Amino acid sequence: MLPKSEYTSFVKNTAHSLGFDYCGIAKAERLDEEAKRLESWLNKGFHGKMNYMENYFDLRTDPTKLVPGAKSVITLLLNYFPSEQQNADVPQISKYAYGKDYHEVIKAKLKTFLSLLRENIGEINGRGFTDSAPVLERSWAVKSGLGWVGKNGNLITKNNGSFFFIATLITDLELEYDNPFVKDYCGTCTKCIDNCPTDAILPDKVIDGSKCISYFTIELKDMLIPDEMKAKFENKMFGCDICQDVCPWNRFSKPNNEIEFTPLNEVLNFSKNDWEELTEESFKIIFKKSPLKRSKFEGIKRNLKFLS
């Protein structure tokens, strides 16, 4: 058996060879403090109608319940900041949804990652996740030294800001662990709080998910958006990037190198009229591999009507 240092080097080199921008490793253990915060957040109803957030509480806070015998949590970041952006006058779509659905892109990378580990290290037990299971990925990213959680609830890296997808690979392979990221570089800045049009960002890095524009335009399945949100969406049709766009740390964001995240022409250029004239058949063809399918055709039409 090789020393942990060689396994660790192989893991990090493999991560970069697969296109991940950052890789950090933490010891797999129960997240006691995070469990208390999550319980408080749920009790206050900040998850709105996202009832799935209440499920699998123990799995969210203990990686050994997701992967028996887990010893290491490998956290991976993949940049999604686009090289091109929408015109300001078209219905706005969150930058993460410009190209192919990241779930599919990252799932394929994680599958390859695990295969390479088994081929080169031996039979190990492991599972990869990206929004596909109850994993507190931002907490693990901080524990593995990749960045800090900003006042807007997003993980922020000091070198490249916050436009990253977070993926997690939990394994029973024992590795060398990175030091946690202990500093908070938000300082006295409150730009994300001040610029949130729905007041979803509360003090102490607490987000009222039930007030977030992303919640209303993606997660909420009701066919009516509450009237009190009228005129607050600032032309956001799918998701919202306001709290990231105003963050000073995102001046360091650089365009991603992932071909699968190349923006769809329709995302960049569809006018409000184009969206309104779009048929369900065309929607299913154009956005077959897009995150927009999460809202479905009816949800997109609902959002457009609300922006009128």
Q: Where are the beta strands (DSSP E) in the chain?
A: 22-27, 72-79, 92-93, 126-129, 148-149, 155-156, 164-171, 201-202, 206-207, 236-238
Helices and strands counted in the chain (H then E): 13, 10
For the chain, the average pLDDT equals 92
Query: Comparing C-alpha atoms, which of 299, 268, 280 is closest to residue 91?
Result: 268
Q: pLDDT tens, 88-106?
A: 899 999 999 999 999 999 9
What single string gives the DSSP state of each residue in 170-193?
Answer: EES---PPPPP----TTTT--HHH
Residue 45's pLDDT is: 78
CB-based contacts of 255: which residues, under 8 Å, 6+ apart?
81, 82, 83
CA distance 51 to 212: 16
Residue 41's pLDDT is: 75
Rg over CA atoms, the chain: 20
Query: For residue 94, how many other CB atoms are within 10 A of its CB?
Result: 21
Tokens at 165, concatenated: 């997808």
Active site annotation includes 131: yes
Q: pLDDT tens, 26-83?
A: 999 988 787 777 777 778 777 777 766 666 667 777 899 889 999 999 999 999 999 9
Kindly state the average pLDDT of the residues 266-282.
96
Annotated catalytic residue within 21, 32, 131, 241: 131
Residues 55/109, Cβ–Cβ less than 8 Å: no
CA distance 298 to 272: 15
Task: Name the maximum alpha-carbon separation found in the chain.
Answer: 64
Residues 220/181, Cβ–Cβ less than 8 Å: no
How do beta strands 236-238 and 92-93 pair? parallel
